[in-house]
A and B are shown apart, each in its own frame.
Chain A
Amino acid sequence: MSQPTATAMELETPIAPYVDTRRRSHRALGVAGKYGTIIGLALMIVILSIAAPGTFLSVDNFVNVITQNSLIAIVACGMTLPLVVGEFDLSLGYVASFAGVLSVGLMSHQGVPMGLAIVLAVLIGAVAGIVNGLLVTQLRVNALIATLGTGTVVVGLNYAYTNGVPVNLLPESRGFVNLALGKIAGIPNPVIVMVVVVIVLWLVLNRTVLGQQMQAVGGNRDAAELSGVRVERVRIWAFVIAGLCAALAGMMLASRVGSGQLTAGDGYLMNSFAAVFLGSAALRDGEFHILGTVIGVALVGFGFNGLAILGAPTFFQYIFSGGLLIVAVALSTVARRYARGS
């Protein structure tokens, strides 16, 4: 960890007639990217602990932050897969919102039993993923545009289904809220679901044929094709898994809130992006990976929590959110460039 820094220092020997400072700052940035996310996370926790010892640094608050961010972590981990294959998915926030509305709506409007409503709501994420995947692989629509399009269509479907009015839970299905508010062995359910999702997706990406092929497609699509990877199928799967995760999170959110709010999950998109990109710079050189995403989510989560505790005004939270996204993508790019030694 200290070695690259040492090399950077050695460059400053007086023998060198000129040293390209831009390159050196790149190198420093590369190191900052690789470990900076983790150092940043630690620093943030330390500073916030000092600034607000009573409120921030407490078991209650930490449990709260982790629970609050478990759903965003599910979205972000899912979103990691399209990014691994080199695609974007901008529809995930809207898919999450729709899945939430649908889970409550199916119970309240259609009288579907709770279990089935939950399954259908989560499956709507897979449908969105398939549509995204087909648009991108078969019609060759740029993923940014395709997912922005499907995302907007999903918003439309959401309004059509609800007439623009939030869906409330009927008294007989109050049990639905236990899904998010319940605990097993003292651990809140959303945290358990998050841990399961993280483990499953980590295994998928690192220990399955599909996951390795996703990495191959993201690494070099032509070489993947010539190595016998069914590139289009792999790309579609990435969208499907991302959609499933987003819908799962949206459904859990509806359970937490106890109603289907039309825009409840929309905000997941930007913060998930920031988290995934921050995470891609962590430990690995700008490669998207699940563990990094978890670190990224923690950074984003504690950041917002700190801002709230310190009483930052709303406008500042937006500035923080947007700024973080830009910093995250920049760090990720620099880390990648550093790894390639240019």
Chain B
Amino acid sequence: MSSQVVPLVRMSGMTKQFGAITALDDVSIAFNAGEVHGLVGANGAGKSTLVKVLSGAYAPDRGTIEIDGAPVAMHSTLDSRRHGFEFIHQELSLVPKFSVLQNLAMGNWQRTGFGLLTWRELRVRAKEVLSTLGLTQPLSTPVAELSVADAWLVSIGRALMRDARLIAMDEPSASLSGEECQRLFAVVRELVSRGVAILYVSHRLNEVVDMCNVVTVFRDGRVVDTLRGSEIDKPALVRGIVGDATVLPVVAATGRRIAELSDRPALSLRGLSRAPLVNGVDLDVMPGEVVGLTGLVGSGRTEVLRMVFGADRPTGGEMFIDGKPYRPRSVVHAIREGVALVPEERRSQGLFLDKSIDFNINVATLRVLRSGPLRLLSGGRRVERSERMVKSLGIKTRSTRTPVRQLSGGNQQKVVMGKWLVGNSRILLLDEASRGVDVSARVEIYNVIRQQAALGAAVLVVSSEFDELTNCDRVVVLREGRVAAELGPDEVSESAILAASFAEHRDARPIPSLGSRS
């Protein structure tokens, strides 16, 4: 990767340790203007740490940063911003109540002679930026009313307001639907053509192959491979990311056999509704069956799971467990019926980050631990149960007393699953279980799902990832809160899912039709 051109940024010999863990080990890397540079690797491989060092959020233990060939010190995020570097994280740093204009203005305020804010020039600039991004909403629209995709574009817009020279994006497509992704990619291409350098951090390798000019593969804090142009292909990336570790084959779909033996669904939904997002969903899940539930963001997938889990009340329709009417009054009630939910937002809804693995595994099933005349919790049983989960799920950790914050994303997700598996849940609801999880952990998670199904659990998997859906026995596609299609194992294909998701609507954001329940 030697080039005569001086790269925009060159980082050399970057090393960063956190306690005993080496997050970055002598990493050297260069980013050029007008290129999309992909950073891939398992969670904990070092790509996020590198980005954080570049942003000034972390100080490296060793190593130098050069910008346009001149060494610079990056002491804080303000320093990196001064150099025109912008960082867009998965959790967007927009203020939902503020309008698009207010959000774009943040950090770009212009003042009059009296120190008051002036909006006139900002407005002009903001309009330019929005047209670059292809956003047509008025500037006064509150960000809370935008789709996730549009909010992403506004974040990029904020970077553009500052004439960013480099924009780092962390999993930009994670919560976008297929069509929304295409809009994002178009914007990225436009930016690159204007000479902006893009750092593209993603687990979605298909995108990386499509979008990136250069890809750097990280493993265990080191750069293991750098691919350019036509060298970039998916098998090469997977080899680099996984290394010598062999990818476990997914357990064969044994679930369907059990499903055929049983004639009564473990979970049935009939006309399940919650206005305005869910408008009458019919669905059956047999014991031992893994059913995929997909659709665009906003199609009502998550809402269906939350109702089954007792977290939201339906406004209409019925639910049955083992053929018996099931009306969950609360999450506690649902759990007692053997229902478990692995929620969409792992860190904010699934985990107690500062608590130990022991705590997280046992928190939903504490009653089991009571013993003795005082009904006090047994510490020994607690550890024994979490050790069992660590072993059976392959959670990589030194001790069960480790706070889950210190685990990688994949291992964190296994802890969330362990919380339910330790308590014999019969109906497993998983919402985007493999999001932000690296390739090998993803395979392990699919295996766990399959094993549970083989043991007789009914599994309902909400996912936007095609790979994950191909592991299901059946895929149900929702559109505007209704079942749009049901695809058998031979019918599941990316195009069939997309066709069902988008049918009739060319707009990426379906408008939920109010009051049209049949």
A-contacting residues, B313-360, CB 8 Å: 330-332, 334-335, 341, 343, 348-355, 359
Q: Is A186 an interface residue (CB 8 A)?
A: no
B363 partner, pick from A11, A212, A230, A285, beta carbons under 8 A: A212
- Judge whether A220 and B348 touch: CB under 8 Å: yes
CB-nearest residue of chain B to A16? B62
Q: Is B419 an interface residue (CB 8 A)?
A: yes
A19 partner, pick from B59, B375, B406, beta carbons under 8 A: B59
Known contacts A16-B61, A226-B331, A227-B419: A213-B366 contact under CB 8 Å: yes
- Judge whether A20 and B59 touch: CB under 8 Å: yes
A287 partner, pick from B332, B354, B379, B405, beta carbons under 8 A: B354
Contact flags (1/0) for B383-412 with A, using CB distance below 8 Å? Answer: 000000000000000000001011000000
How near does chain A come to B429, taking the closest CB pair, in angstroms?
Answer: 11
Alpha-carbon distance between A68 and B17 when the two chains are bound, in angstroms? 47
Contact flags (1/0) for B126-139 with A, using CB distance below 8 Å? Answer: 00000000000000
How near does chain B come to A313, taking the closest CB pair, in angstroms?
Answer: 42
B-contacting residues, A13-54, CB 8 Å: 15-20, 23
Q: Is B27 an interface residue (CB 8 A)?
A: no
Q: Is A341 an interface residue (CB 8 A)?
A: yes
CB-nearest residue of chain A to B310? A228
- Judge whether B370 and A209 touch: CB under 8 Å: yes
B332 partner, pick from A7, A208, A228, beta carbons under 8 A: A228
How near does chain B come to A193, taking the closest CB pair, in angstroms?
Answer: 20
Q: Is A340 an interface residue (CB 8 A)?
A: yes
Alpha-carbon distance between A15 and B13 when the two chains are bound, in angstroms? 11
Q: Is B499 an interface residue (CB 8 A)?
A: no
Determine the main DSSP class of B at the interface with A.
Answer: mixed
Q: Is A203 an interface residue (CB 8 A)?
A: yes
- Judge whether B359 and A215 touch: CB under 8 Å: yes
Q: Is A207 an interface residue (CB 8 A)?
A: yes
CB-nearest residue of chain A to B63? A17
CB-nearest residue of chain B to A227? B364
B61 partner, pick from A11, A207, A285, A339, beta carbons under 8 A: A11
- Judge whether A225 and B331 touch: CB under 8 Å: yes
- Judge whether B376 and A203 touch: CB under 8 Å: yes
Alpha-carbon distance between A207 and B349 when the two chains are bound, in angstroms? 24
Known contacts A209-B367, A340-B405: A225-B355 contact under CB 8 Å: no
B377: chain A residues within 8 A (beta carbon): 206-209, 212
Alpha-carbon distance between A226 and B430 when the two chains are bound, in angstroms? 13
B59 partner, pick from A18, A222, A227, beta carbons under 8 A: A18
Q: Is B152 an interface residue (CB 8 A)?
A: no
- Judge whether B355 and A219 touch: CB under 8 Å: yes
How near does chain A come to B505, taking the closest CB pair, in angstroms?
Answer: 32
A-contacting residues, B49-108, CB 8 Å: 59, 61-64, 73, 75
A222: chain B residues within 8 A (beta carbon): 348-349
Q: Is A223 an interface residue (CB 8 A)?
A: yes
Alpha-carbon distance between A4 and B17 when the two chains are bound, in angstroms? 12
B-contacting residues, A325-342, CB 8 Å: 336, 339-341
Q: Is B311 an interface residue (CB 8 A)?
A: yes
Contacts across chains A and B counted by CB atoms under 8 Å = 97
CB-nearest residue of chain A to B416? A223
A-contacting residues, B112-150, CB 8 Å: none
Alpha-carbon distance between A209 and B309 when the two chains are bound, in angstroms? 21
Alpha-carbon distance between A212 and B17 when the two chains are bound, in angstroms? 33
CB-nearest residue of chain B to A23? B59
Task: Please indicate which of the listed interface residues B75, B341, B355, B370 has the most CB atoms of chain A within 10 Å of its own CB.
Answer: B355
B341: chain A residues within 8 A (beta carbon): 226
- Judge whether A226 and B343 touch: CB under 8 Å: yes
Q: Is A216 an interface residue (CB 8 A)?
A: yes
A340: chain B residues within 8 A (beta carbon): 353-354, 405
- Judge whether B75 and A18 touch: CB under 8 Å: yes
B-contacting residues, A176-225, CB 8 Å: 203, 206-209, 212-213, 215-216, 219-220, 222-225
A16: chain B residues within 8 A (beta carbon): 61-62
B63: chain A residues within 8 A (beta carbon): 17
Alpha-carbon distance between A209 and B376 when the two chains are bound, in angstroms? 8
- Judge whether B364 and A215 touch: CB under 8 Å: no
Q: Is B249 an interface residue (CB 8 A)?
A: no
Q: Is B19 an interface residue (CB 8 A)?
A: yes
A-B contact pairs, 18 of them (CB 8 A): A7-B17, A15-B62, A17-B63, A17-B64, A203-B374, A209-B370, A209-B377, A212-B359, A216-B363, A220-B349, A223-B348, A225-B331, A227-B331, A229-B363, A336-B354, A339-B354, A340-B353, A341-B405
Interface residues of B (CB under 8 A from A): 17-19, 59, 61-64, 73, 75, 309, 311, 330-332, 334-335, 341, 343, 348-355, 359, 362-364, 366-367, 370, 374-377, 379, 403, 405-406, 419
Given contacts A212-B377, A216-B359, 11 further A-B contacts (CB under 8 A): A7-B19, A15-B62, A17-B64, A209-B366, A209-B370, A213-B366, A220-B352, A226-B309, A226-B311, A228-B331, A341-B405
Interface residues of A (CB under 8 A from B): 4, 7, 11, 15-20, 23, 203, 206-209, 212-213, 215-216, 219-220, 222-230, 285, 287, 336, 339-341
